[in-house]
Structure 1
C-alpha cells in the first residue's frame, strides 16, 4: 500500500497547499485607501468579455456635487474624489515600469502615504514621488503622460509608491471619477455614516466599508489574483482526480495480486461484506495517515510557494499567505474520502472472490473484461467523445478549455477501463520485432503480457494517465497560442509595428513623430451600462492597415466629427443598434454623448467593438494611451519615448505575451502534477508486480536462465507495458487536440495547425520508461541472491 499512501499524501499536500493559498488570495483593500473608513464607488457594470470591467465613471460635475453632499454628513471630515491616471517616471532615459499610476494630492489623505521630506505640490509643474526613486525635493524629473514627456520639479517625497500632482492637474488628466473617499472624525460612528451615505448616493453608486473596500483593488492586481485562483483551483482539482485514479489503480492491482489470500479468507468463513469492510478499513487507515502527512507538508510549504507565486507574477505583490484552520481541516478530510473512492471498485471486486481461488496455483487471470467494465468504459468513452464534439463546435474560449479538460479526463478513464480489450493487438504489434529475434526472451515477454491482460492494463494505466494529460495540456496551450497569434498576424497589413517599451502604451508625442495607423483604445459604456472597447482611429489609415476589413453596411467615410461611430456586427446585434440610429454612450470622462451609427463592419475588421475618430477619444479620455502604430517600414524613434519597432510577427506573438506566460506557468504546474503522480503510480505498480512475481523469476532461474537474462526479460516487459500506456495515452491526447483544433478554427475563423508537443511527450515517456524499468528490475536482484542460496 506504499503507492496508495504516497499518492494520497501528495494529493492532500497539493489540496491543502492550494486551499491555503486560495484562502489567502482574497482581494485586499489598497494601502492608499485604508485611511478612508467609507468609500463610495461609481455604478458597477458587467461585461461578457471582461470579468474585471471598470465601473462607469461620474462626470467631474456629478462627482463634485456628490462629494459636497457626502462631506455634509455628520462625522465626515472630508470627502475626496479619487482620480487615477497614467503617469510614469523616467530614470536614466528609460521609463521606470514599476510606477504607472498618478493621483491628485488630496487622495493622499485616503491612505498611508505621508510626506517624508519637502512640501505638497502647489504648482502645476510640481510632483511628489516615492522616496525609493532616489529623488529629493528640488530635483528635476521627466514624467511620461499620455501627451508625452514633461518636465516636473520634485516638491516632496513620500514613503509609498504613489505619484502625486496638484488636484487641478489631476482633474485635467482624469476628468472622470470612479471613487470618493470619506475621511471620518475619530469619534464618528462608521455604521451611521454608512447609512447616511447610502441615502445620499441612492442609485448613483454604492457605499463600501471594511473588507468590501477591496473592490477598489487595481484591475491588474485583480486580474492577476483571478489567474492565480484559476491555477490553484485547477491544480487542486487535478490532484484530487489523479489521486482517486492512482489509488483506484493501486487497490485494483493489489486485489488482483491478493486473489488467493482473499479466497483463503472466504474459505475459512469470511463473508463478502467482511471482505469489503476489510478493504475499506485499509483504505481509511492509509488515507488518514497519508492525510496527516499531507496537511503538515502543505502548511509548511504554503509560505514558500506563496513567495514563488508572487515572483512568477501569478499573485500580486500585496499577496501574503495566512494560516487558517478550515482549509487544513477540509484538506485532511480529503485523504480518507479519496482513499475510499479509489478503493470502492476494488473492494466490490474483492468481495466477489470465491473460496476456490485459494486453491489455484496458476497465474492465469480470469476474464479480463467483465460486463460492468465494458459498460463503464463505453459510458466514459461516450462522455469523452461528446465533450470532444462540444470542444470542436464551441466558439467560446473558456467553454472550449473546460470541455477539453473534462473530455480528456473521461477518455483517460475510458482508455483505462477498456485497455484489456486492446492489449492483444497492441502486444502483437509492439512485440513483433522482439519475437522474431533469437532466443525465447521475446516470446516469453509477449506471452506473459498476453496471459495477464488485466495486470498489464493496470500497469499501463498510470503511463496512460501521465502521457495523456501531459500531451493534451501542453498541446492545447501551444496550439491555441499559435492560433491567436496567427489570427492577429493575418489581420494586419503593415511592414512593421511601433509597440510600447516598458510602458503601458504610446504617448501622443510618439504618434506625432511616426506616420502610420495609430490605435487609441478606450472604454465607453453603452446606454450607461455595458462597457465596450472603442478605438480612436484615422478611418482611411486604419482600413488600409487591416487585411480583413469589411464594411457590411454604411460607409467608413461617415466617421467624422464628434457624433459618429462605427460598430461591429456582433455589438449591433447584441444591443439592437441599426444603421443611422442615434445611440447614447458614456465616455471615460463620465459625460453622456449621443452618437450616430454611420457604418457597420465585420467582427474581424477591428480588434475592438467600436471605431471613433481619434480626436473624440482624446477629448473624452485625456489619459488614454495608443496601443500600437502600424507602419509600412521601420522608423526612427525619439529617445526615452517608451517605444520600439518590431516586425508584425513579433507584435502578433507579443500582444498577449504576459497572459501567455502565465498560462504556460499554469501548464507546467498541471503537467508537473499529472507527471508526478504518474511517476509515483508507475514505480509503485510495477514494483508491486515485480515483487509478487518473484516466484516466476525463480522458476526461470531454475530452468537455466541467467540472472542477466531474467533482468532483460523483466526490463523488456516493463518497456512493453510503457509503450502500451504511451500509445493509449497518446491516442486520448490526439482525440482531445483534434477537437481543440476544430474549436479554435471556429473561433479564429481560419485553419489552425495542430501542434503536437513531441519534446513533452518524449520527456514524459522517457521518465516513465526509466522508472518502470528500475522498479521492475530491482526485485530481480533479490531473486538472484535467493537462487544462489
Structure 2
C-alpha cells in the first residue's frame, strides 16, 4: 500500500504540482512572516542592547502621586543629584540625559521623520560614549547642533550647513557643527536625532537645570547590582528609582517584541486565511482524484485491502505532497522574509543591520503547517472512498452523494448559519468591548455554515445566470449545467473567493462608514476654520497663540490648555479655553444650560456630568497645581465626543495656577474661511515651522481616519495571497473537470462543437463559479460590516452605515476577472484534446 501510494503521487505530475502550489503559498506566507518579524525583532533588540552598553545603572525620577486634595510636586533630577550619584563608591562616571521632541525640516521645508520619531537631546561632551562624532566637532551654544549620520545622509545636510528646526514653537536656525553615529532605534526606523550642548538642551526642551535620566557607569570590579545598591543608599528613595542597564535592555527587548507581536499576529491571520482557502482546494483536489481512482481503490478492496489501508494510502499520498509543499514553502518563505526586510526601505524606514533569522520554531511551524493541513484536508475524501463497497465502486466511476448525506449536510449548515446569525445579532445589542467576542464567534459560525450550505445555494444562484448564458448559445448552456453538475466541487472552489471577499468587503464597509462618521463629527463639533498643534501632539508654546492672534484675517482664537485638578478626591483634567471666543470656535450639542465659559462658570460633557452627578447649576471645588482652590459652577452640559469633551474653564481662571503654561492646540477662525491661501498665510505667520501642524476640519478627519485607511490598504495587499491561492483552486478544479469529462468533450467535438466553443464553455463555467463566490462574499461582507458598525454606533453617535457601491462592483468585477484568468490553461487544454482518443477514454 505504501508503494502504491507513492506511485500514485508521481503518476500525475501536473496534479501534484497544482496541489503542492496551493499548500506551498500558505506555508510560504507563514514562514515568511516568522522570518521577517524574527529578523526585525532581533535586529532592533541587538541595536537597543548596544545603546545600553555605557549604562550600568539608570536613575529616574519617581512619578507624581496624588496626596490628599493637592497634587504632589514632580521630583527633579538636579545637578546636585548627578554629582552625588557620580561620587558614590563604585561609580566611574555619570551622564545627565535630556531629551524631547525636536522637529527638523529637510531642504524642502518638510518635517523629517513622523513627529514622534523626531527627537532632540544633549551631547555630554567630547567623550560622550553614546554618540561618537565622526565628522566635525561638538556644539556650543544655541546656534550649533550635531546631526545623526542617517538623517544627514537622507537629507543631504553637511557640516557647516544651516538647518531649520523647532522644539515647542519658535523656529531656530542653528548651524551643523558635526555628524555622529548612534544605535538609537528611532533613527533606524526613519526618525531624526539632533543634539545640543547640555545647557541649551535643558533650556530648549523645558528642563532648565534638570535631567530626564542620570546614567551611571560602574568602575572596574563593580557589578551592576552592587552599584545599584550603593546608589539606592546614597540617593533619596522617595525621589528616584534605579534600574540596572541589563534590566533596561531586557525591558526594551520585551517592549520591542511586544510591539512586533501585533504585526506578527496580523500577518499570521492572513497566512491562516491563505491556508484556510488552501485547505478547501486540497480537499477538493483529493476528492476529485479519489473519485477518479474509485475503481482502482475498489480493486484494492476486492483483493484484500481493508478500509483502514485504503484511507492510509490516501493519507500517505497527502503526507508526501504536504512535505514537498512545506519544504518548498519554507525556502520561498525565507526569500519572502528577506524581500520584506528590503522592502521596508522603500517606505522611508530602515532597519539596523543584522543577519536573517531562521529559527528552529520557524522550520517546525512550516513543516507542521504544510503536512498537517494537507493530511487533514485529505482525510475526509480518503475515508469516504474507503466506505464505498467494492462492487458498487467497480460498477460506477463516480459515486454520487446519498440523499441522507445531503440532508445531514444541509441540516448542519442551517444550524451553524442560524447560530452564527443569532450570535452576531446578539452582539449588536451589547456595548463595543462586550460585543467583540460573541460577534467574532458568530462570524466564524456563519462563515462555516454558509460554506456547508454552498452546494445547496449554488443551484438557485447559478440558475439566475441562465438568461445571460443563453446569449452564448450551446456553450453557455453547457457551462451552466457543468457548474451545477457537482455542487460540492463548485462550492469548494467558490468558497476560496468567498472568504477573501467577505473579509475585504466587510472592512471596506466599516472603513467608509467610520470616515463618514468622523467627517460628520468634525463638522458638528468644530466651528473653527483651523486647529494648530505640534506635529507630535506634544505641548505648544503660548507664543504660538500670540503670533496667530497678530496674523491678518484672524477673527477668533482660543488656546486649549490641559491641567490636572483635584475634584471630589480624584484627579481630573480640565481644559482651559478663551471664554470670549470658544463659543464661536466649537459647536457641540447642548443637553442643558448654555455654552458659557467665563470666570468660575464652566461647561462639562454629558459623560462626566453623569459620573459626577452634576447638572446645570451644580457647584464643586477644584484644587489646582499650586494648591489654590476654586469653587466652580456648571453653566452647561454638552454632548462630548473624541474631538470636544471634558471640563472647560476660562484660561483667565486657570492659567495663574499653572506651574508651566503650554497649550495642547489653538483653535482659529478667519475672515476668509478655510482655504489653501489662508492656510499658507497662517503657516507663514508661524515662520513655516516644521514642528507645527495647521489643519482644517477635513485634515483633522483624514488624520483620525488615516489608521483605518492604512490598515485597509495593507489588507488589500495581503488579500492578494488568498486570491492567488483561490486562482490556483479554480485552475485545479477546472483541470480536474476537463480530465474527468474528457469523453464527454470528445463527443461534443464529434457532434460539431468546435474548439472555440469548447474554450468558451470552460471559460464561462469558471466565470460563473467565480461570480457565485463573489456574490456570497460581498453579501456576507456587507452583513458583517453592518453588524460591526452597530458596535461603533454606541460610542460614535454620528456613525451611519455607508455602502461603497462602486468598490463592491469593482470587487465583483475582479472576481469575474479571476474566473476568466483561471480558465485560460484548462480551456486551452480542453480544446486541444484529440476527439477520438477522448471518446475511447474511460
TM-score normalised by the chain length of structure 1: 0.82
**1:53 alignment partner in structure 2:** none
- Residue 459 of structure 1 deviates from its aligned partner by 3.1
Deviation larger for 570-579 or 461-470 = 570-579
SS of the residue corresponding to residue 823 of structure 2 reads: helix
1:377 aligns with 2:399: no
Counterpart Cα distance in 1 of 2:454 and 2:585: 54
Does residue 118 of structure 2 align to residue 100 of structure 1? yes
Matches within 5 A, 1:296-311: 296-311=331-346
**Is 1:743 paired with 2:788?**
no
Quick one: which of 452, 468, 475 aligns to 2:486?
452
Equivalent residue number for residue 491 of structure 1: 525
Deviation at 1:761, TM superposition (A): 0.5
**Do structure 1's residue 323 and structure 2's residue 350 form an aligned pair?**
no
What CA deviation, in whole Å up to 9, does each residue of 1:293-351 have, x standing for no partner?
Answer: 111111123122113235436x7654866413232332222211222232233333333
- Within a 5 Å distance, the mapping from 1:85-234 to structure 2 comes to 85-90=100-105, 94=109, 96-98=111-113, 100-106=118-124, 112-116=130-134, 120-124=138-142, 126-130=144-148, 132=152, 141-152=163-174, 156-160=178-182, 161-172=192-203, 173-175=205-207, 179-196=213-230, 205=241, 207-210=243-246, 212-213=248-249, 215=251, 225=260, 228-234=263-269
Q: Report the equivalent of 2:276.
A: 241
Q: From 391, 400, 404, give the equivalent of 1:356.
A: 391
Alpha-carbon spacing, 1:157–1:583, altered in 2? closer, same or farther (3 Å): farther
**Structure 1 residues 718 and 188, CA, compared in 2 at 3 Å: closer, same or farther?**
same
Q: Does the 8 Å contact 1:85/1:101 carry over to 2?
A: yes
> Is the 1:5–1:286 Cα contact (8 Å) retained in structure 2?
yes
- Which stretch of the first structure deviates more once superposed, 385-394 or 180-189? 385-394
Please give the per-residue CA displacement for 1:582-627, whole angstroms capped at 9, x wherever unaligned. 57788xxxx9998877556533274465656668689556776637
1:716-751, CA deviations, whole angstroms, 9 ceiling, x for partnerless residues? 333222232222222222221221333333332122
For 2:372 and 2:642, the matched residues in 1 are separated by 53
Cα distance, 1:174–1:685 mapped onto 2, change above 3 Å = farther
1:470 and 1:675 in contact (8 A); partners too: no
The separation in 2 between residues aligned to 1:117 and 1:708, in whole angstroms, is 72
CA spacing shift, 1:629–1:494, aligned 2, 3 Å: closer
SS at match of 2:641: helix
Structure 1 residues 748-776: Cα deviation after superposition (integer angstroms, max 9, x where no partner): 21223233423541453133221343244
Take 1:275 and 1:676, find their aligned partners in 2: how far apart are those partners?
32
The structure whose Rg is larger is 2
The equivalent position to 2:466 in structure 1, one of 418, 427, 431, is: 431
Q: 1:79 to 1:353 in 2, by over 3 A?
A: farther
Q: 1:685 and 1:470 mapped to 2: Cα distance?
A: 24
Deviation at 1:777, TM superposition (A): 1.1
**Residues 1:778 and 2:840 are matched in the alignment:** no
Consecutive unaligned residues of structure 2, counting only runs of 5 or more, are 1-15, 65-70, 183-191, 549-553
- Distance in 2, matches of 1:123 and 1:506, equals 23
**Paired position in structure 1 for 2:547:** 513
Report SS of the residue matched to 2:522. Answer: helix
- Aligned to 2:120, the other structure's residue is in SS state strand
CA contact (8 A) 2:101 2:536 kept: no
- CA 1:360/1:23 → structure 2, altered by over 3 Å: closer, same or farther? same
Aligned CA distance change for structure 1 residues 623 and 748 (closer, same or farther; 3 Å): same
Distance 2:291 2:504 in 1: 28
Matched with 1:761 is 811
Q: Which residue of 1 aligns with 2:29?
A: 14
Do the aligned partners of 1:83 and 1:178 also contact (CA within 8 Å) in 2? yes
Q: 1:675 to 1:477 in 2, by over 3 A?
A: farther
Q: CA deviation at 1:470?
A: 3.4
The match for 1:626 among 662, 665, 682 is 665
Distance 1:575 1:217 in 2: 42
CA deviations over 1:620-640 (Å, ceiling 9, x no partner) = 567766376455624322242
Pair 1:240–1:608, CA change in 2 (3 A): farther
In structure 2, the residue matched to 1:418 is 453
Aligned residues: CA RMSD: 4.5
Shift of 1:660: 4.0
In structure 1, list runs of 5 or more residues that go unmatched.
46-55
Cα distance change, pair 130–63 in 1 and its aligned pair in 2 (3 A): same
**TM-score, length-scaled by structure 2:** 0.78
Tell me, in whole angstroms, the C-alpha distance in 1 between the residues paired with 2:613 and 2:21.
58
Q: In the superposition, relative to structure 1, how do residues 667 and 320 fare at CA in structure 2: closer, same or farther (>3 Å)?
A: farther
Q: Is the 8 A contact 2:277 2:496 kept in 1?
A: no
Q: Distance in 1 between matches of 2:592 and 2:364?
A: 59
CA distance in 2, matches of 1:530, 1:693: 78
C-alpha contact (below 8 Å) 2:161/2:175 kept by paired residues: yes
1:667 Cα deviation from its structure 2 partner: 1.5
Q: Distance in 2 between matches of 1:231 and 1:647?
A: 33
CA contact (8 A) 1:698 1:783 kept: yes
Distance 1:772 1:595 in 2: 74
Q: Give the number of aligned pairs.
A: 767
**In the alignment, which of 582, 597, 603 is matched to residue 557 of structure 1?**
597
CA apart distance, 1:15: 0.5
The C-alpha deviation readout for 1:13-33, integer Å capped at 9, x for no partner, is: 111111122223436428665
